[in-house]
Structures are given as C-alpha cells and as structure tokens.
A and B are shown apart, each in its own frame.
Chain A
Amino acid sequence: MREKLIQYSILSSILFLFWVIFSGKLDVKHLMIGAVTALVIAWICSSFLQVSSVTTPGIPVKEYAVFNLPYLKLFPYLGWLLWELVKANVDVALLVLNPQMPISPQIFTFKKTMSNPVAHMILANSITLTPGTITVDVQEDVYTIHALTESAALSLAPLAGEGDMPARVGRLFNE
C-alpha cells in the first residue's frame, strides 16, 4: 500500500512538472488546473504502476513497481546506448549507400532470463535501436530478433556465452 502511494505521487509529480513546463504559466489558476489534471490522470493509470514478474516455473510471482529503477546506473547506460545508436546509424547508412548492398537478413531467437518486465522493456527497445537488429517478438523471456547482417546477429547472441547488450541490461538490474 505504501509502495503504491509512492508510485502514485511520483507519477502525478512528473505529470504536474510536464504541465508547468509545457504551459509556461505560473499563475494560481493554471497551476490548479494542472494539479487536478495530473492527480486524475495518475489515478486512472494507477493499475499500470505495478507489474508482476515474468513467470518462470518454480519461482513465485513478484510485484515490481514501475518507477523503482536503478537511476544511478541508468544514466551511464543511456549514454552508452546513444553512442551505439550513432554507430548503428552509420552502419545502416553505409549498407544503404553500398551499391552491392552486402546484407544477409535472418531471424533468430535467444533467451535472456530476467524477472523484472521493465528490464525486458529496456532490453527490447535497446535492441531495436542498435546495430542492424529489430526485436520482432518477446514471449516471456524468449526474444525473436530480425538481424540485417551476420555480424549484427553474432554480436547480440554469440555462439557461446551472452552478448554485450543483454549482459549490460542484466547488470543494470542485478539479474
């Protein structure tokens, strides 16, 4: 219950902050409209604020709070992701501009066991943003990936061990 209240206040404060920034007005009337709207929207969304863990046989289902993220570790990760995004784009641009177009598209699956759904969301989004790979489907903890080239597929899911990006997201959430 206490956790729920904390999540609720975080969401309504974020919404209220957005209102202030986007409206740019600081008089009492606008602030009050913003505060009421933020509280009502957060109330409507309150059932989304807790997500249950990805089911793995033998482990009891846990509830995760959406805003309960490792923020300190998240920012270095975002910086790394931004740099990867630039590299990905240069790669794709080179492929597009190459007259022979040396691509070998393929669909493959790999498994990454994590119980927090938010971690899965971050990993899936990161995969879509970076070198030549798109997340096609995520079922429980099995990822279906479409890769543009052989090397992109191998960098994400090497023949032995696990790729750089799943390992990083795993470290991010200590799983």
Chain B
Amino acid sequence: MRILAIFFLMGGFFFTTVAALGVIRFPDFYTRLHAAGKGDTLGIALSITGLALYHGFNLVSLKLMFIVFFIFLANPIGTHVLSGAAYKTGIRPWTGKGE
C-alpha cells in the first residue's frame, strides 16, 4: 500500500512539474491554459489520492477523496471561465503562422 502511495505521489509531482514547464514553454494564453488546466487537475488529484492511500481507509482519507472530487468539478470550470473571458475581450490565439 505504501509503495502504491509513493507511486501515486511521484506521478502527481511529475504532472505538476510538467504543467509548470508547459506554462513557461507554450507560446500564448490559450495553450498555456491547456497545460495549467489539465496538468494541475491530474497532478493534484494523484498527489491527494496518494496521501489518502498512505493514510489507509478512515475519515481523513474520505475527506481527502472529497477534495479530489471537488477539484475534478471546479478546475475545468475555472479553465473554461478564463478562456471564455479571454475570447470575449478579443485575445487572438497563436497559430504558428505569424500575423
């Protein structure tokens, strides 16, 4: 169980790091949202699931799983609201072809 927890935590760290790297490396606002929105969701979910596994099954791990559930619901909505606001204020997406 402890090994499984470590595996989940390492996965979480990996995806969060990749998300941070993606935010730096991608060319414009929308593509950066891709990295932040998806990488963070899975990264945080994996980390917290790892912590819950490490703790064994009790009230604390149940609460942790609720946090995961809320992140799954809330993170896409946040990403969607940000991209929608950017689109409405007229930020043009980068297409790689130049202006």
Q: Which residues of A contact B (CB under 8 A)?
A: 18, 21-22, 24, 85-86, 88-89, 92-93, 95-97, 101, 103-107, 124-125, 128-129, 132, 134-137, 144, 146, 148
Q: Which residues of B contact A (CB under 8 A)?
A: 14-15, 18, 21-22, 25-26, 28, 30-31, 33-35, 37-39, 41-42, 59, 62-63, 66, 72-73, 76-77, 79-80, 83-84, 86-88, 93-96
Q: A92-B22, A103-B96, A137-B87 are in contact. List 5 more A-B contacts (CB 8 A).
A: A21-B59, A89-B38, A89-B42, A97-B18, A124-B80
CA distance in complex: A63, B88 (Å): 29
B41 to chain A: which residues have CB within 8 Å? 85, 129
A146 to chain B: which residues have CB within 8 Å? 30, 33-34, 83, 93
Are the C-beta atoms of B80 and A135 separated by less than 8 Å?
Answer: yes
B31 to chain A: which residues have CB within 8 Å? 103, 105, 148
Q: How many A-B residue pairs have CB under 8 A?
A: 98
